[in-house]
């Protein structure tokens, strides 16, 4: 049995990613996969669960920027350096959304409201890329909106739909059901380019705010993974991303395939951590 651990609650972005991954992975890897949700500590508990496991290929963690941010912000006992980045699968699109029957038609409407009445913006946990994206947008727009954290994307959605929040910042994959039901309106994406499936949704940069946030999605294991395990995953990831059934599935979730094998992934995560640390220092969040 191979256990794939996520800090995400059921229905959250990483949870959805892992469950979909497992469904298709079974065609390429002869193993039984289970998904385990370990919430709490902005991802620290999930990282500790994997960091302290045997490096025998039986336990992996779903990587996102959260595990780097949590390490930098709260210096838990086990951080991103205690895991070995295994392979990256995707880049996930980050978006700003509001309820469809609400007063905000565009991102400038939201910013104007935040100027006159402070505003309430929602993001996932304090150590999420969404939280960082919201903070960077707030700085770029020179507003002082209150940013409210949530443990997962599901809780955040409820508070956008009931009008407690003006907007939510989240992954497009988490919002699919509400988008299809016409319950929410997309206002902008943090990607460098517009999302293929939503060509009418502008980028944050198009509104004049120089903020780009693209979320990586992959796997990491405990330090000391055997070379043969790494080789199996590198090959499986490559085959999986070329699998027509999986292409159709991840295309629906608006995920962008971004295969980064083991050796390059460690460098990639290290560079992301270094850039993020610089941002947090500049912002005065960490000393």
- pTM value is 0.80
Q: Does 44 reside within a domain?
A: yes
The residue among 229, 256, 216 whose CA lies nearest residue 86 is 229
Asked if residue 219 and residue 86 are part of one domain, the reply reads yes
Q: Report the mean per-residue pLDDT for the chain.
A: 94
Band the pLDDT of 228: cuts 50, 70, 90.
Answer: very high
Q: Say if 287 falls within a structural domain.
A: no
Same domain, 226 and 84: yes
CATH number of 173's domain: 3.40.190.10
- The residues, any chain, with a CB within 8 Å of residue 97's CB and separated by 6 or more, are 160, 167, 168, 170, 175, 184, 185, 186, 187
| pLDDT for residue 165 | 98
* Confidence bin at 127 (pLDDT 50/70/90): confident
pLDDT tens, residue by residue, 100-114: 999 999 999 999 999
- What is the band of 117 on the pLDDT scale with cuts at 50, 70, 90? very high
- Look at residue 152 in the predicted model and tell me its pLDDT: 76
Q: Predicted confidence band at 153 (pLDDT cuts at 50, 70, 90)? A: confident
Residue 222's domain spans which residues?
Answer: 2-91+215-282
102 and 167 fall within a common domain: yes
Residue-wise DSSP of the chain: -EEEEESSPTTSHHHHHHHHHHHHHTTTS-S-EEEEE---GGGHHHHHHHHTS-SSSSEEEEE-HHHHHHHHHH--SS-GGGEEEEEEEEEEEEEEEEETTSS--SHHHHHHHHHHH--EEEESSTTSHHHHHHHHHHHHHT---EEEE-SSHHHHHHHHHTTSSSEEEEEGGGGHHHHHTT-EEEEEE-SSS--TT-TTS-BTGGGT-----EEEEEEEEETT--HHHHHHHHHHHHHHHT-HHHHHHHHHTTEEEEEE-HHHHHHHHHHHHHHHHHHHHHTTS--
Q: Looking at the structure, tell me whether residues 196 and 221 fall in a common domain.
A: no
Is there a domain that residue 122 lies in? yes
pLDDT of residue 72: 95
Residues 249 and 260 occupy one common structural domain = yes
Name the residue among 203, 219, 234 with its Cα closest to residue 96: 203
Asked if 104 and 242 sit in the same domain, the reply is no
Instruction: Give the pLDDT band of residue 151 (cuts 50, 70, 90).
Output: confident
Query: Would 26 be classed as within a structural domain?
Result: yes
> Are 51 and 71 within one domain?
yes
Domain count, the chain: 2
Among the listed residues 43, 35, 81, the one whose alpha carbon sits nearest the alpha carbon of residue 60: 35
Split at pLDDT 50, 70, 90, the class of 258 is: very high
Same domain, 224 and 237: yes
Torsion of CA 249, 250, 251, 253, to 10 degrees: 100
Q: Do residues 80 and 98 both lie within one domain?
A: no
- CA–CA distance, 287 with 274 (Å, rounded to integer): 14
For residue 240, being part of any structural domain is answered with yes
The pLDDT, as a whole number, for residue 275 is 86
User: What is the tens place of the pLDDT at every residue in 43-102?
Assistant: 999 999 999 999 999 999 999 998 999 999 999 999 999 999 999 999 989 999 999 999
pLDDT tier at 245 (50, 70, 90 boundaries)?
very high
86 and 223 within one domain: yes
CATH number, domain of 22, equals 3.40.190.150
- What pLDDT does 173 receive? 82
């Amino acid at each position: 049995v191979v256990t794939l651990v996520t800090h995400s609650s059921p229905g959250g972005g990483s949870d959805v990613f892992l469950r979909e991954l497992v469904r298709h992975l079974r065609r390429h890897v002869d193993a039984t996969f289970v998904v385990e949700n370990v919430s709490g500590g902005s991802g620290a508990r999930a990282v500790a669960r994997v960091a302290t496991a045997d490096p025998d290929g039986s336990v992996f963690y779903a990587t996102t920027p959260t595990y780097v941010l949590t390490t930098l912000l709260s210096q838990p006992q086990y951080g991103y350096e205690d895991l070995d980045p295994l392979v990256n699968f995707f880049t996930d699109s980050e978006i700003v959304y509001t309820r469809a029957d609400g007063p905000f038609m565009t991102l400038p409407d939201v910013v104007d409201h935040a100027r006159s009445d402070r505003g309430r913006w929602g993001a996932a946990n304090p150590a999420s890329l969404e939280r960082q994206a919201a903070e960077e947008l707030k700085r770029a727009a020179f507003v002082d909106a209150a940013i409210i954290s949530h443990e997962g994307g599901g809780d955040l959605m409820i508070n956008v739909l009931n009008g407690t929040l003006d907007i939510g910042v989240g992954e497009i994959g988490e919002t699919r059901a509400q988008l299809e039901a016409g319950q929410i309106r997309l206002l902008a994406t943090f990607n460098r380019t517009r999302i293929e499936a939503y060509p009418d949704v502008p980028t944050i940069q198009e509104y004049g705010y120089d903020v780009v946030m693209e979320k990586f999605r992959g796997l990491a294991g405990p330090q000391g993974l055997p070379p043969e395990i790494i080789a199996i995953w590198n090959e499986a990831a490559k085959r999986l991303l070329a699998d027509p059934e999986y292409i159709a599935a991840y295309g629906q979730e608006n995920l962008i395939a971004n295969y980064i094998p083991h050796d390059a992934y460690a460098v990639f995560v290290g560079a992301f951590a270094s850039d993020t640390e610089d941002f947090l220092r500049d912002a005065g969040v960490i000393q």
